[in-house]
Amino acid sequence: METELTIEEIKKGYAKKGEFLFQCLYCDQTFDDRFVYPISESNSQLARAEGAMIYHLKHQHDGPFETLLNLDKNQSGLSDTQKNFLALFSKGIDDQEIADQLNITTSAVRNHRFKFREKKRQAKILLALLESIEEKEQDEFTANSLIDSDERFISSKKEREKVFDTFLDENGKAVQIPKKEKKRIILLQRLAESFAPEKQYTEKQVNEIISEMFEDFVTIRRYLIEYGILGRTVDGTTYWKI
Query: How confident is the model over 156-174, as pLDDT tens digits?
Result: 888 889 999 999 998 899 9
Distance (Å) of CA 79 to CA 27, 37, 241? 24, 38, 11
Cα torsion angle, 78, 80, 85, 90, sign: positive
State the chain's mean pLDDT as an integer.
Answer: 86
For residue 2, the model assigns a pLDDT of 55
Total-model pTM: 0.48
Residue 31 confidence (pLDDT) above 70: yes
Query: How confident is the model over 171-216, as pLDDT tens digits?
Result: 899 999 999 888 999 999 999 999 998 899 999 999 999 999 999 9
Angle between helices 95-102 and 80-90 (to 10 degrees): 140
Q: Structural domains in the chain?
A: 7-69 (no CATH), 79-133 (1.10.10), 150-241 (no CATH)
C-alpha to C-alpha distance for 204 and 207, rounded to whole angstroms: 5
Share of the chain above pLDDT 90, in %: 52
Query: How confident is the model over 210-223, as pLDDT tens digits?
Result: 999 999 999 999 99
C-alpha to C-alpha distance for 193 and 148, rounded to whole angstroms: 25
